[in-house]
């Protein structure tokens, strides 16, 4: 086994020999996968290096120091992690490497008009027909659906058992006649979300992840990876489609002559402290995921990031002052502050609402009593539904 210093030296040497910021990103992604640095914790048979957590972090740190992308996907790539854990050998063989090289576009087909917070209540059906499932139903709040190659689909395969059973989790091909995507316009003017109508769509039985009827178990793992990724990323208040990226609150305060404002300095320090604590929480959650547990700590990180992005938006508005009432390219700081305040709600909803995260934290971390579920043991076909 190599020492930490040997791993660090090896990664630095490899980056010095191969990394070129002007290089083709497709070729670079393939090179990172070939070297085992995309997923350093994974087994060698799955493009990894079987490194322990501390040494995998060294790999990621060296990539970050060099400004090179592609490493650490064994923590952040929810598609590939879910596929590796539950996918059939054939599906892994077809899609695992393309997912790591970002050559496959994905979306999440979970929420429905009557099943958002309670995903166990999904009514989209998947009926086995030979070696394929036929899918009918509707999904909503689906990011990136219009350009996706596959959707991770949660659908009901058996209505004769209670709602948490009889579910299937699939990689559904999106480019087929039975899939219709309609965009949903957000308050920010963007359209990240879509509603998806499934009418006689087909998915190969080989694309079922996990055993038949155990889709809920697969979903919990996928959600945990998604929450770790969302909890680690600075999504929401400070990231937008205009290419300006995350706002540096310290630099913003200096630019507006507010760097000596004691209250603003306190608020900026609070945001930075929250980010640091959340980073540590997500590291603990990732360690539990690697041991095969769908860690409730991921919900704590997800809820914390929601608070962080709302707080970031509030502080941005406080720094720019009256300019926060303005928007458009003539007022970039005010425009960003407006966007931050409005888009923060995306993080409070996407990946499970703040309220759902609080329920998970209360029940699984704090040991509080579970909320009553009168339909938990009732066959799904007998559960009362709203019209």
pLDDT tens profile 149-173: 999 999 999 999 999 999 999 999 9
> Any idea what the Cα angle at residue 21 is, between residues 19 and 25, rounded to 5°?
85
Distance, in Å, from the CA atom of 232 to the CA atom of 136, rounded to the nearest integer, reads 35
User: What's the pLDDT score for residue 292?
Assistant: 55
Distance, in Å, from the CA atom of 77 to the CA atom of 73, rounded to the nearest integer, reads 5
Low-confidence ranges of the chain (pLDDT < 50): 234-245
Burial 234-268 (b: 16+ CB within 10 A, else e): bbbbbbbeeeeeebebeebbeeeebeeeeebeebb
Question: Which of 70, 41, 177, 117 has its CA nearest to residue 351?
Answer: 117
Domain boundaries, the chain: 4-76, 106-213, 233-365
Task: Determine whether 134 is exposed, middle or buried from the number of CB atoms within 10 Å of its CB (0-12, 13-18, 19+).
Answer: middle
Q: What is the DSSP letter of 382?
A: G
Distance, in Å, from the CA atom of 305 to the CA atom of 283, rounded to the nearest integer, reads 14
Residue 316 C-alpha from the chain's centroid? 25
Tokens 């998806």 correspond to what residue? 196
For 116-164, strand residue ranges (E) read: 125-129, 132-139, 150-156
- Token readout for 166 is 């009889």
**Cβ distance 310 to 354 under 8 Å?**
no
* CATH T-level topology, domain 233-365: Butyryl-CoA Dehydrogenase, subunit A; domain 3 (1.20.140)
Q: 242 in helix, strand or coil? A: coil
Annotated catalytic residue: which of 60, 226, 311, 323?
226
Q: What's the CATH superfamily of 106-213? A: Butyryl-CoA Dehydrogenase, subunit A, domain 2 (2.40.110.10)
Rg (CA), the chain: 22
Asked if 226 is an active-site residue, the reply is yes
């Amino acid at each position: 086994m190599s020492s930490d210093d040997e791993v660090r030296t090896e990664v630095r040497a490899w980056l010095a020999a191969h990394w070129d910021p002007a290089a083709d990103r497709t070729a670079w992604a393939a090179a990172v996968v070939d070297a085992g640095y995309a997923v350093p914790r994974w087994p060698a048979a799955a493009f990894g290096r079987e490194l322990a957590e501390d040494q995998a972090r060294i790999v990621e740190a060296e990539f970050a120091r060099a400004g090179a992308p592609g490493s650490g996907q064994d923590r952040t790539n929810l598609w590939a992690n879910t596929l590796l854990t539950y996918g059939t050998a054939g599906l892994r063989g077809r899609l695992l490497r393309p997912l790591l090289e970002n050559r496959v576009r994905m979306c999440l087909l979970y929420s429905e008009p009557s099943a958002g917070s309670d995903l166990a209540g999904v009514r989209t059906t998947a009926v086995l027909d030979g070696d394929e499932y036929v899918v009918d139903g509707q999904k909503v709040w689906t990011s990136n659906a219009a350009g996706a190659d596959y959707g991770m689909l949660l659908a009901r395969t058996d209505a004769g058992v209670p709602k948490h059973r009889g579910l299937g989790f699939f990689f559904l091909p999106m480019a087929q006649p039975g899939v219709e995507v309609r965009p949903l316009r957000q308050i920010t003017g963007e359209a990240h979300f879509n509603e998806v109508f499934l009418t006689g769509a087909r998915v190969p039985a080989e694309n079922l992840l996990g055993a038949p009827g155990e889709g809920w178990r697969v979903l919990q793992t996928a959600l945990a990876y998604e929450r770790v990724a969302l909890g680690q990323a600075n999504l929401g208040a400070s990231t937008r489609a205009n290419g300006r990226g995350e706002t540096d609150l310290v630099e913003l305060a200096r630019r507006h002559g507010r760097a000596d404002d004691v209250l603003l300095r306190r608020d900026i320090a609070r945001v930075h402290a929250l980010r640091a604590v959340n980073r540590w929480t997500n590291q603990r959650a990732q360690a539990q995921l690697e041991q095969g547990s769908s860690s409730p700590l991921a919900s704590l990180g997800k809820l914390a990031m929601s608070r962080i992005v709302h707080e970031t938006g509030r502080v941005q508005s406080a720094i720019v002052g009256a300019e926060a009432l303005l928007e458009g390219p003539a007022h970039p700081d005010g425009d960003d502050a407006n966007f931050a305040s409005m888009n923060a709600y995306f993080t409070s909803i996407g990946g499970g609402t703040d309220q759902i995260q609080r329920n998970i934290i209360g029940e699984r971390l704090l040991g509080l009593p579970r909320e009553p579920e009168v339909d938990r043991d009732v066959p799904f076909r007998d559960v009362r539904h709203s019209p």
